[in-house]
Amino acid sequence: MSRQLLAMALAPLLGLFILGIGNGFLATLITLRLDAAGESPVVIGWVSSAYFIGLALGAMFNDRLLLRIGHIRAYGSFASLVAVTVLLQGLWLDPISWFGLRLIGGWATVGVYLVIESWLLTSGDQKVRGRLLALYMISLYAAGVVGQLLLGVTDAMGVTAPFMVIGMLASLSVLPMAMIPRVAPVIEHAEPLSPMRLITLTPTGVMGSFGSGLAVAAVYSLLPLYLQRVGLTVNQIGQMMAVVILGAMLLQYPIGRWSDRHDRQMVLILIGTFCTLISAGMLLLPLNTWVLAGLLFLLGGGVFALYPVAVSHAADRAPAGALVRMSQGLLLINAIGSTVSPPLISPIMAAVGDAGLFWAFGAMSIGMVAFFGWRRSVRPAPLPVAPFAPSTPMSSAGAELAVTEELIQGATEHEHMEDLSEAVPDVETAEPLVGPPPPDEPHILYYEDEERPHEAERDRDRSPEETSSTSRG
């Protein structure tokens, strides 16, 4: 990566890292404080859900605000609002007030991410988006790990100290963005594909995105409750949550690259099976510190890999012109899953005990395995059109950032092999050809020829009618 590109991306990434440290342990802190005050799991679930409601609302409407007031002013406004809502939560503990503050905080937080992601989006062209996305993911996960490790340190300083630290970090994150000496990027209003169109185009992608939202929201909002009730201290809970995020950071990419060379639907089935086994382990095994840490590390890897693999599978089905809108639509589906997760799972914990969290995890995982298996029997997965890219976008701009040049060219090549004209009617597609595209047409081959010769030979031998029969899945 060139020094110029790194310099342009440094300020938003630094702002992301500073904000992410505080945001990384805020959800854990709120859950622990509500539980210590004697609130029920149902109340904790609803307060946690408010944050995700705010995220969903912000993902739909914040881009319009940016178009009106500009990026720098929008970032300052959103970051200040995050700081104010957090500091107000430190003044008094009331579930109804915290619900409203968490909703506003979620709306403001996704606004901050929208500014950062849109700035990264325009820092370079499609050729370098993959590298920018990698830096974004490293900054996001590293901030999450550091934030969770700070939970015990700040909690030991006093009752209000953690809220003060998070508020200061939110305010401090404005400085790198305020010192950027360049014109603010121009973004367009996002128009994601509708849920019904997404279900028609990629039912597996929709279920994977929704299921990922259910699982990830439960990890952030209800796993700390489970850990506190099994006897861990605040410092130990922060360490265990850091282990979960570290597992997500280290395992997501190997799982995704493995999906490049296998049927992605089968990979999704195996991820669901893996999460089921981890849930069973949490329920049945004697949990000392090392066993608990190992299981949570693996749980983080499985749960956080679900969304990017599902999006990669959906991209294997979509025409090139619909990739951005499809990614934005799946992001909203994921946000809906996150919104309904805590209110759905917390009553189970209230009814059957703290272990209800993992009974719910197991049930969700089995349901996804059954759905993915059914879809695979109806319409097998296509070959991957481009290499996997780890992704956890927070806004419509982040969803577009994940659409790299390799992905666009891979999807364009797919249009030569399969008739996708009916997949998204208002998107133009290339005419399908007999066999692969002409040798003089630019295209990306990211597999070595000797790795998958049987599949290359199969594609050459297929007729257009046979090719068009493998449609959406």
3-state SS, one letter per residue, for 223-288: HHHHHHHCCCCHHHHHHHHHHHHHHHHHHHHHHHHHHHCCCHHHHHHHHHHHHHHHHHHHHHCCCC
pLDDT above 80: residue 427: no
Query: Cβ(24)–Cβ(220) under 8 Å?
Result: no
pLDDT above 70 coverage of the chain, percent: 73
pLDDT of residue 462: 47
Query: Cβ(449)–Cβ(456) under 8 Å?
Result: yes
Residue 181 neighbours by CB distance under 10 Å: 5
pLDDT above 70: residue 181: no
pLDDT above 60: residue 448: no
Average pLDDT over residues 191-218: 87
Residue with tokens 């990698």: 134
Alpha helices (H) in 70-127, listed in sequence order: 71-91, 95-121
Kindly indicate the confidence band of residue 457, based on its pLDDT and cuts at 50, 70 and 90.
very low
Kindly indicate the confidence band of residue 466, based on its pLDDT and cuts at 50, 70 and 90.
very low
Could you give the CA distance from residue 171 to residue 71 in angstroms, rounded to a whole number? 16
Could you give the CA distance from residue 416 to residue 463 in angstroms, rounded to a whole number? 12
pLDDT above 70: residue 419: no
Could you give the CA distance from residue 271 to residue 277 in angstroms, rounded to a whole number? 10
**pTM, two decimal places:** 0.82
Copy the structure tokens of residue 18.
Answer: 């500073």
Query: Cβ(18)–Cβ(35) under 8 Å?
Result: no
pLDDT of residue 11: 81
Instruction: Please provide the average confidence, as pLDDT, over all residues in the chain.
Output: 80
Copy the structure tokens of residue 105.
Answer: 């905080």
Task: Say which range, 19-23, 188-192, 202-206, 378-382, has the weakest mean pLDDT.
Answer: 188-192
pLDDT above 50: residue 444: no
Could you give the CA distance from residue 255 to residue 309 in angstroms, rounded to a whole number? 8
Angle, CA 200 vertex, CA 194 and CA 201 arms, to 5°: 85
pLDDT of residue 400: 62
pLDDT above 70: residue 386: no
Average pLDDT over residues 104-108: 93
Average pLDDT over residues 292-316: 89
Copy the structure tokens of residue 250.
Answer: 């280290």
pLDDT of residue 395: 59
pLDDT above 90: residue 343: yes
Kindly indicate the confidence band of residue 18, based on its pLDDT and cuts at 50, 70 and 90.
very high
Could you give the CA distance from residue 26 to residue 22 in angstroms, rounded to a whole number? 6
pLDDT of residue 135: 78
